[in-house]
């Protein structure tokens, strides 16, 4: 695993994609079955108390960017409610062990964020188990490649928007009932919001919607002392990509189009979420922090 704390060449800090990268069955993918396994900072992330005593909900916490963020939050001193699909339990239990090893509480609430009642349950779990909610990190997402709008079904379009956009609305609405001044919401958009791939029509448009949602909500709740921001990852090596997010033939070149010439790793995304959750970003709201490997955003 790469050491994120040693000065080094970012183009070679992590491997490029190659022919050995493995496809899984269409979603949800499992991190424990990936080859090679992504780096979520399990061995490398070092905390410094930046989130001491905070209480967080992280969706998609079993794998990928959500996994890395949950680990980082815990090592920075936060207790974490972990949201993930029931079939992702094996991955989630690895995260539980890492959170607890950091001396923090891990509250597991498996379920599907496309269910409004489940989204409310997540917030209730934070309030009931942790005594409140200070950080909401909306990271769970659905991405399935489809070559043509003729082949894109209403069912997939609906599920993509319910996962990526509706869940965002439901979770933010429920969380804001309990959040106090100083709390933060962090949403997850994508480079796809700015440079959409033809095969990701539903996903790219949902991420564009998240940008507008984030800016509008940030303006709405700023007077309450609550900040709302977003992170826009570029191509990042996660189960989302190998479980139908990308065509199998595209995996060998995944991330090669970035100026850094490689895909990002979840461990490289987590510090952005930590920054936006911490008081260090107290004058930042309604913004999108891009971590795209150099791919330009407006």
Q: Which of 14, 194, 203, 273 is catalytic?
A: 203
Q: What is the reported pLDDT for 23?
A: 63
Residue ranges of the domains in the chain?
Answer: 51-291
- Under 8 Å CB-to-CB from 101, ≥6 apart: which residues? none
Q: What is the reported pLDDT for 9?
A: 96
DSSP string, 232-295: EE-SB-SHHIIIIIS-GGGGGGTTTTSTTSS-B-HHHHHHHHHHHHSGGGTT--S-EEEESTT-
> Three-state DSSP class for 212?
helix
* Token pair in block for residue 176: 């804001």
CA 4 to chain centre: 19
Euclidean distance between the first and final Cα of the chain, in Å? Answer: 32
Nearest to 124 by CA among 183, 67, 178, 184: 178
Nearest to 58 by CA among 133, 131, 116, 128: 133
Block mean pLDDT (10 aa), the chain, length 298: 84 82 63 79 96 98 97 98 96 97 98 98 98 98 95 98 98 98 98 97 98 98 98 91 80 92 96 98 98 95
273 noted as active-site residue: no
Q: What is the reported pLDDT for 248?
A: 81
Q: What is the reported pLDDT for 241?
A: 81
DSSP 8-state assignment for residue 166? I
Q: What is the reported pLDDT for 190?
A: 98
Report the distance separating Cα 91 and Cα 295, nearest Å. Answer: 30
Fold of 51-291: Rossmann fold (3.40.50)
Element (H, E) at 233: strand 227-233
pTM: 0.95
């Amino acid at each position: 695993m790469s050491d994120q704390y040693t000065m080094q060449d970012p183009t070679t800090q992590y491997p490029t994609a190659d022919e050995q990268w493995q496809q899984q069955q269409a979603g949800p993918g499992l991190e424990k079955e990936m080859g090679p396994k992504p780096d979520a900072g399990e061995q490398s992330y070092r905390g410094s108390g930046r989130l001491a005593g905070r209480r967080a909900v992280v969706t998609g916490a079993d794998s990928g960017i959500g996994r890395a963020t949950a680990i980082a939050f815990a090592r920075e001193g936060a207790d974490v409610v972990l949201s993930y699909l029931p079939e992702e339990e094996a991955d989630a239990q690895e995260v539980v062990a890492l959170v607890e090893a950091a001396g923090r509480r891990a509250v597991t609430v498996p379920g599907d964020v496309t269910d409004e009642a489940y989204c409310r349950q997540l917030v209730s779990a934070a309030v009931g188990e942790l005594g409140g909610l200070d950080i909401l990190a909306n990271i769970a997402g659905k991405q399935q490649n489809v070559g043509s709008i003729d082949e894109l079904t209403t069912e997939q379009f609906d599920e993509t928007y319910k996962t990526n956009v509706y869940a965002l609305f439901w979770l933010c609405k429920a969380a804001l009932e309990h959040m106090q001044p100083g709390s933060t919401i962090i949403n997850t958009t994508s480079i796809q919001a700015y440079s959409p791939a033809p095969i990701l029509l539903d996903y790219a448009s949902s991420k564009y919607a998240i940008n507008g949602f984030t800016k509008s909500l940030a303006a709405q709740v700023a007077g309450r002392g609550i900040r709302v921001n977003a992170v826009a990852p570029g191509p990042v090596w996660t189960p989302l990509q190998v479980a139908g997010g990308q065509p199998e033939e595209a995996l060998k070149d995944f991330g090669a189009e970035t100026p850094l010439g490689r895909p990002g790793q979840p461990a490289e995304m987590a510090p952005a979420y930590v920054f936006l959750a911490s008081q260090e970003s107290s004058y930042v709201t309604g913004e999108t922090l891009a971590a795209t490997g150099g791919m330009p955003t407006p």
